[in-house]
Amino acid sequence: MHVSVDLNVCQGHGVCHMTAPDVFELDEEDGHAIVMVDPVPAELEADAQLAADSCPERAITVS
């Protein structure tokens, strides 16, 4: 599974980091999501999918 964040759409809610802390970190300044592991290891795929679903801006793409 690949995961990416559209930083033009991300608004820094931080929900992804909360849902999948091993996949997403947050930028110090504006809270924008930073992908930590790509491709996503199998054991984190469910978390990454949940984070994508839970993003209020739908800024996260998993493929």
Partner 1 sequence: MRIVVVGASLAGVRTVEGLRRRGSDADVVLVAGEPGAADGVAVDRPPLSKAFLASPDAEAAPLTTREKLGALGVELVPGRAVDLDLGARRVGLHGGESVAFDRLVVATGSSPRTVPGLEPVPGVFTLRTAADAAAIRAACTEDARVVVVGGGFIGAEVAWTLRQLGRPVALVEPLPTLMVRGLGPELGAAMTRRHAAAGVDLHLGTSVAGLEGRDRVEGVRLTDGTRLPADVVVLGVGTVPETGWLAGSGLDLRDGVVCDEHLAAVGAEGVHAVGDVARWHHPRYGVDVRVEHWTNAVETAGVVAADLAGERAVHDALPYVWTDQLGGRLQVFGQVRPGDEVRVVSGDLDGSFVAITGGEGQLRGLVGLGAVKQLMPFRRLLLAGAGWDEALAAA
> Rule CB under 8 A: which residues touch partner 1?
11-15, 17-18, 21, 26-31, 49-50, 53-54, 56
Distance CA 30, CA 24 (A): 14
Smallest separation, CB 52 to partner 1 (Å): 11
Per DSSP, what are the bridge partners of residue 60? 5
Q: How far is the CB of 44 from partner 1 (least distance, A)?
A: 17
Nearer to partner 1, 6 or 53 (CB): 53
Instruction: Answer yes or no: are the C-beta atoms of 10 and 59 closer than 8 Å.
Output: yes
